[in-house]
Amino acid sequence: MTKYYSVKADGFYNSDSGVTIPDDAIELTDKQYEDFLTAMNTQNKMLVFENDELVLKTRIPNITWNIIRQKRNRLLSQSDYTQMPDWPGDKKAWAEYRQALRDITSNFSNPNTIIWPKTPT
């Protein structure tokens, strides 16, 4: 059985599957197939065609404002207790931290450059 990888389809193929193999598919050795598949499934890697060969690259997550807001809202929710009247900790520090979380979307123009405020101790 011969194994292939198609960059355009972002998929593996084999000659015994009965599926039409894309025109851009590149034949792989058994070792390449195992190495590529393992890296893609366990190391957050992707295959790209570069300088006439397949190369593994680290996937860069697409961070969106929606993802940032979800994280911010989770952090706010997890720190709600710090503002309860009977909580004995440093309310001022926690209030400032929570305000910094709320201000994240207005203080940064690019979701990939956000610096998260430090949690008070």
pLDDT tens track for 111-121: 988 999 999 98
- Is the pLDDT score of 2 beyond 90? yes
- Is the pLDDT score of 41 beyond 90? no
Does residue 33 form part of some domain? yes
71 and 52 within one domain: no
Q: What is the pLDDT of residues 8-22, one digit of tens each?
A: 888 899 999 888 999
52 and 9 within one domain: yes
Full residue range of the structural domain in which residue 52 is found: 3-58
- Label residue 60 by pLDDT band (50, 70, 90): confident
Region at 52 (left for phi over 0; alpha for psi -120 to 50; beta for the rest): left
Q: Which amino acid is at 1?
A: M
Does residue 121 form part of some domain? no
pLDDT at 22: 92
Domain boundary among 58, 76, 97: 58
15 and 31 within one domain: yes
Give the chain's length. 121
